[in-house]
């Protein structure tokens, strides 16, 4: 069970943590109803995507390494496990969004555009 996004990039939103409109954080054009269609253009959106990635990286700081190390050892998590390593829901949400933003950025660099549908 989960919500997915597909198109030029593909993935699954983090269950119970990441909203379907997480890509709005990076700009682009949002279209609805059951799916949110995102459209990014390199010339128009890359700078904003990179700025938001940098903002998240600065906000998380060294927590990025803590989260990455945690997921090298675990393929799932619960609240107790996160408390043991001092990872908050907000930090985990930002990390999930960071991974999405990196996918968007890489797609823009490789193709010059990035379009995908997100289950709403």
What is the pTM (predicted TM-score) of this model?
0.75
Residues in CB range of 14: below 8 A, 6 or more apart? 92, 93, 96
**Farthest CA pair distance, the chain:** 44
Q: Which residue has the tokens 């997921």?
A: 71
Give burial (CB, 10 Å; 0-12/13-18/19+) of 114: buried
- pLDDT, one tens digit for every residue, the chain (120 residues): 578 888 899 999 888 888 888 888 998 887 656 678 899 999 999 999 999 999 999 999 999 999 999 999 998 889 899 999 999 999 999 999 999 999 999 999 999 999 988 876
Q: For residues 23 and 19, what is the distance between their CA atoms, to the nearest angstrom?
A: 9
Domain ranges, residue 87:
4-119
How many separate domains does the chain show? 1
């Amino acid at each position: 069970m989960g919500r997915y996004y597909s198109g030029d990039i593909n993935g699954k939103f983090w269950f119970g943590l990441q909203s379907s409109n997480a890509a709005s954080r990076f700009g682009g054009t949002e279209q609805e109803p059951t799916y949110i269609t995102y459209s990014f253009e390199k010339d128009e959106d890359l700078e904003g995507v990179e700025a938001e990635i940098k903002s998240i990286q600065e906000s998380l700081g060294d927590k990025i390494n803590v989260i990455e190390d945690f997921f090298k050892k675990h393929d799932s998590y619960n609240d107790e496990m996160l408390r043991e390593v001092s990872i908050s829901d907000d930090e985990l949400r930002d990390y999930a969004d960071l991974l999405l933003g990196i996918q968007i950025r890489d797609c823009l660099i490789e193709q010059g555009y990035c379009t995908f549908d997100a289950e709403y």
